[in-house]
Amino acid sequence: MKKAFMGVRLKRLREERQLTQQALAHAIGISLSYLNQMENNQRPLTLAVLLKLNASFGIDLQLFSEDDEARLLADVREIFSLELTGEIVSSAEMRELASNMPALARAVISLNRKHRLAAEQAAALAARLGEDRQAEMALLPSTPYEEVRDFFYARHNYFPELDEAAEHLAEELAPSETLSWPQLSDYFRRNFSIKVVVDDRPGATYRRFDLRHSVLYLSRTLTSGQKAFQLGTQIAMLAFDRELTTLVDAARFSNSDTRGLARIGLASYFAGALLMPYRKFLASAQALRYDIELLGNQFDVGFETVCHRLSTLQRPSSRGVPFFFIRVDRAGNISKRQSATDFHFSRIGGTCPLWNVYEAFAYPGRIMTQLARMPDERTYLWIARTVSHKSGGYDSLSKTFAVALGCDVRHAAALTYSRGLNVLDPTSATPIGIGCRVCERTECPQRAFPPLDRRLMIDETQSLFAPYATSVR
């Protein structure tokens, strides 16, 4: 653990617990002067003190996590770009906000999100009234998806209420084996008097519930694992409606569309946890060194489903490797993104073309590995592979995506994919960025357009004319 100065967070902890400095110092067995120095950032917060805080108050260690700081800093950088605010905010000031005043940083991020939503609604209204014919063209993509993604992001992609309920049900139905769709079909018959039928009609939807006749139809094109996943999703909707509703209500989403999308996302989360119960899946993942294909064979699910489940293993008592998961198409559209840790996905101007998730399209079905270094000098191990979905015949179109799973390089030794990579050599990592609009790498050969921050644009211009300036001298 490197030196971490988190004085404001310590003060916040005291305020929340209504403790004096003397009371807190006595509770964790340190001197009053030592605590005072830490609160004023004259001494760093050590691992020993952090463990004493956890033992005395049972606090979530995430409160003092550097990963959480990196997440906040990435969000703050987007908000405080010069073009958006008109003010020059230095990197040091942004880092101070994220590291020492995280609650304030989150409040600013929330206000910015509400501001963007209000601007979008105003532009849409203006377009309908005919006051601005170009307003409709300037609208950002649909906001419910971003709102739901932020909801999962804020929860570190882990929902103990659903995860534990799914694990309990899995142990009840199949204590010593992997759940199959016939077992789940029998569960529907016994508990809900619902008959599960395979739908042979061409073009049938993956899952269709006929409430009137109590029949649940599953498309014949689904694999056995996909059938089980669809049944797991329906179980969440029927048997755990109260848990889903509680989570959605607590999030205070802005509209009914977002609420509906969040329910679907949470139901899918439950299905993944049901087919891959936490303790059993984590033990297998660690034993197999997180080999995605071997895990897929063991639990009878696809590559993408395993990746998604691996990004949720954040139970406080037994955490797995904190992964981030993303799915993109050939055009660079991000259709899924989940993060259990600090990696940030840009909302402005697309992602980085040097990222191996795009290279995967050139090698269909092959797993691509990459060490990638971000502008803040953090290095990550990325695994990417294409996945395809096709439900029709010869002349039907298929859907092809690239899915990627990443983690901090400090976890690389636990993964089979680190073999052959020099994880200790910083020069072996590919320098990538969050996205061209907010990336600080002005000399990148793949830059598509200038960054939003004009200071970087000025630096870039100066570097272009530097050879001529030297010759004049």
Q: What local confidence, expressed as pLDDT, does residue 374 receive? A: 85
DSSP bridge partners of 208: 217
Q: What local confidence, expressed as pLDDT, does residue 153 receive? A: 83
Mean per-residue pLDDT for 121-142? 50
Q: Which residue has the tokens 């991000």?
A: 334
Query: Which CATH architecture does the domain made up of 141-275 adopt?
Result: Orthogonal Bundle (1.10)
Q: Is the pLDDT of residue 248 over 80?
A: yes
Mapped onto helix, strand or coil, the DSSP state of residue 457 is helix
Measure Cα distances from 459 to 80, 86, 93, 433, 469 in Å: 18, 18, 20, 17, 14
Q: Is the pLDDT of residue 454 over 60?
A: no
The more confident residue out of 205 and 2 is 205
Q: What local confidence, expressed as pLDDT, does residue 461 receive? A: 38
Give every CB contact of residue 364 below 8 A, 6+ residues apart in sequence. 386, 388, 400
Three-point CA angle 274, 278, 281, nearest 5°:
95
Q: What local confidence, expressed as pLDDT, does residue 43 receive? A: 85
**CB-based burial label for 177 (10 Å; 0-12, 13-18, 19+):** exposed
**Residues 404/410, Cβ–Cβ less than 8 Å:** no
Which segment of 384-393, 427-436, 444-453 scores lowest on mean pLDDT? 444-453
Count Cα neighbours of 156 within 13 Å in the Cβ-side half-sphere: 21
Burial 433-453 (b: 16+ CB within 10 A, else e): bbbbbbbbbbebeebeeebbb
- The domain 7-102 having CATH identifier 1.10.260.40: the answer here is yes
Question: Would 141-275 and 317-473 be classified into the same CATH topology?
Answer: no
The more confident residue out of 258 and 392 is 258
| Residue 122 φ/ψ region, left for φ over 0, alpha for ψ in the -120 to 50 degree band, beta for the rest | alpha
Residue 342's pLDDT band, with cuts at 50, 70 and 90, is low
Q: What local confidence, expressed as pLDDT, does residue 349 receive? A: 47
Q: What local confidence, expressed as pLDDT, does residue 313 receive? A: 95
Specify the pTM: 0.71
Three-point CA angle 149, 207, 226, nearest 5°:
75
The more confident residue out of 137 and 169 is 169
Mapped onto helix, strand or coil, the DSSP state of residue 462 is helix
Q: What local confidence, expressed as pLDDT, does residue 419 receive? A: 92
Domain segments of the chain as ranges = 7-102, 141-275, 317-473
Tell me how far apart the terminal alpha carbons of the chain are, to the nearest angstrom: 48
CATH of 317-473 among 1.20.1050, 1.20.140, 3.40.50, 3.30.450: 3.30.450
Measure Cα distances from 453 to 71, 237, 409, 439 in Å: 19, 45, 29, 9
| Residue 350 φ/ψ region, left for φ over 0, alpha for ψ in the -120 to 50 degree band, beta for the rest | left
Q: Tell me the per-residue pLDDT of 266-302, one tens digit each, with 9 for 90 and over.
A: 999 999 999 999 999 999 999 999 999 999 999 999 9
Q: Tell me the per-residue pLDDT of 130-140, one tens digit each, with 9 for 90 and over.
A: 544 444 444 44
d(CA 214, CA 189): 10
Q: Tell me the per-residue pLDDT of 20-38, one tens digit each, with 9 for 90 and over.
A: 888 888 888 889 888 888 8
Q: What local confidence, expressed as pLDDT, does residue 261 receive? A: 93
d(CA 57, CA 409): 31
Tokens representing 374 are 């971000």
Rounded to the nearest integer, the mean pLDDT of the chain is 82
Mean per-residue pLDDT for 4-14? 74
d(CA 26, CA 305): 49
Closest CA to 41 of 65, 13, 12, 6: 6
Q: Tell me the per-residue pLDDT of 34-48, one tens digit each, with 9 for 90 and over.
A: 888 888 878 888 888
